[in-house]
Structure 1
Amino acid sequence: MLGCVVLFQALFRKWKLPVDERMTMALIAWVCLAPVLRVLEDADFFSSSRDVLFISPIIHLHLASWLVGVAVLSHFIGRRFDGQDSDRAQEAQATLVGGFVFVVLTLHWYLLYQPAYAAHPEVSFTLATTGLAFAVAVVWITMVRTRDWPAITRGMLGFATGAVVLGVAHWAQFIATPWAQESGKASGDLTFWPVWVVLGLPAIVCVVLYRAGREDAEQLRLTGHSAGVLPANIGLKQWEDEAERWADHPVEFLSNKALLAHPMVLGMVFGQLCDGFATMVGIDLFGYGEKHPVSNAVIQYGGRINDALGVDWGEGAWLFALVKAALVGLIVWLFVQMRVEHRQQHFRLLIVLAVLIVGLAPGLRDIGRLMLGV
């Protein structure tokens, strides 16, 4: 996924593609797709001829090819309608891009999911195939709700949301009728309460941040500027050297709070907190282990604190959650203070996506494994 992001930045510059809130939401949806598929791989769903595609780091290259393909073709198919506000133009773009996404989503199901059905003949996969219909409905809803969006972001968001729904439908199938596993990793225990902790608490924090910044974000949007982005043709050095001149500019006095309501900040906060809470719950309460040496060192130190205090609870992963919370607080503080030149917006997006990839993706995978017991 990170390699895909790097490649995508080159396309941003060459084709002058959008790097706004809409693109951020589309890319966040793609980040969510990777852990959805990884959980199915953990559950031994995919056929032996396909499962290698879902093992890191190949999964990132695999999804990168889907992302770039969907983005490029959506752009070429519907770009002639970009910027046209008429109902006819918007309906034509929605029909073309939506039809293309439907074809690609069906191909996605046929190539990746359908071969796995034969590997699990004891399961009917009724819920899973019904999920394909729901995924198509989500694509249609996305096309309707993204009126006036550029074709590229419409296509990217439509496919990613549809693919996520399709994957989660297969989670539901496993919950309803678990299939046999070669690895025998499944515990058979289905647990749902961690969702309220791992997803609920970060969601509450994000709601608070959004409410704190939405008014300034709306005011800044009305001025025609983007949060944290300097006006065109003004360099960062000029902005800093002439600080008094620009002190009353909307970008300067509205951006700090406006960025709190931006999908980039909300995505980083949600992702990092999700990862921290998922690790804490998984290790301290369900006995999972941590493979990353740095994270494991933090957890081990938390365990030593437990021993020193005479606390007989968990392995010390609570400290990892606290470190994640402190880290995301620092990242957000630095991010809202940062100003970027108009031509450098894609670098900011790259930073955010890197944070999402190492936070949101593993956090969602962990909660999926906890729920399915794999």
Structure 2
Amino acid sequence: MSNENNEEIELFDYMDEESESRKIPVNKKEKTGGKSGRSKKKKKAGALTWVGRVAATIGITLALIIVWLYGVMAVLVYGPSKTAKNQFVLSVQETSAIGFLANIFCSQEEIDAIKAANSIKDTDEVTDTSLVSIDTEDNSEVPDIEIIDVKGSTYSGKLMKIKDPSRLFVGTIEGFHQGNGQVVADIAKRYNAVGGVNGGEFVDGETTYTGMPIGLVMINGEQVNGNSGSTYHVTGITFDNKLVVGNMTAEQAKQNNIRDCVSISNSIGPFLIINGEAQDVSGTGGGLNPRTALGQTSDGSIILLAIDGRMANSLGASFSDLQDIMLQYGAVNASVMDGGTSTQMYYEGEVINTPYSPTGPRTCPTSWLVK
């Protein structure tokens, strides 16, 4: 009996020892879990530190870029070159987004003086349509539409020359409204037009309505926008397909036999050439920006021009540059349309210039289109 009892006691002792030994791994696991939690916290803290360093690097880089840009602008404004200062002020003032940059360095009085000294002066002269004789002969060697690359020291762009002026007309969005308009490509598709460029001015300021034109707009001889008694800076095409530019009321536009027209203020879209005479240019003739222009040669051919700008390979053109291009290609009457991010030329299903906008061309209410 005693042996059996001793064996039982020894057995129980062994089991107790074994049970105790089995607890050890459990304790180890608990300790291991604690180490894992601390490791995760360390990794999270490390990730946050890395994010902070990246954010700090980006912030410092942006600050350095801003300081560098400020320095460049300061050199342009306060440096020895008066032309560079004028070009800077004029170029940024024509943009709704960064126009305030000029006010950082110059008073409003100084900005106004620079604008007045570097512009194309307005005029009371109106196109004499008798000076344009439309070529009605079958001239098959001249293409119906010709696309030409234009390039200068500060700009590049596209010129479209249309042999038959009767193909030119004003296209609009479906209805003018206090909202967004459409890009030229969509307006052209609405009319099944083969090509075109952006048209006249629209509401753009503290509140922007690219679907609402400013000034006189006429379609097929009917006034669709503007006040009857007001005088507007008008570019139009007559019922006998001659380009007319001049300051006039809606009634005077009808007296001038205008079929389609748009309006744009002289500071944004001056007249370049009237009756074969280049208009008076003061100073640099405007800043360097994307530009759109419209002209007609003495034989009736229409010239549409879109100049790219605000890019490394094409800073843009001044009004004086546009005048030179139009004269080079034989325009006897010409004027400027809205420019900047609005500048766009459409032809055969695509935009063929390079509009300055990461999101594509700006919407507008009116366009000059080609049937």
RCO higher in 1 or 2 (8 Å CA, sep ≥ 6)? 1
Larger Rg computed on CA atoms: 2
Class of the TM-score when normalised by the shorter of the 2 chains? under 0.3
Larger fraction in strand: 2
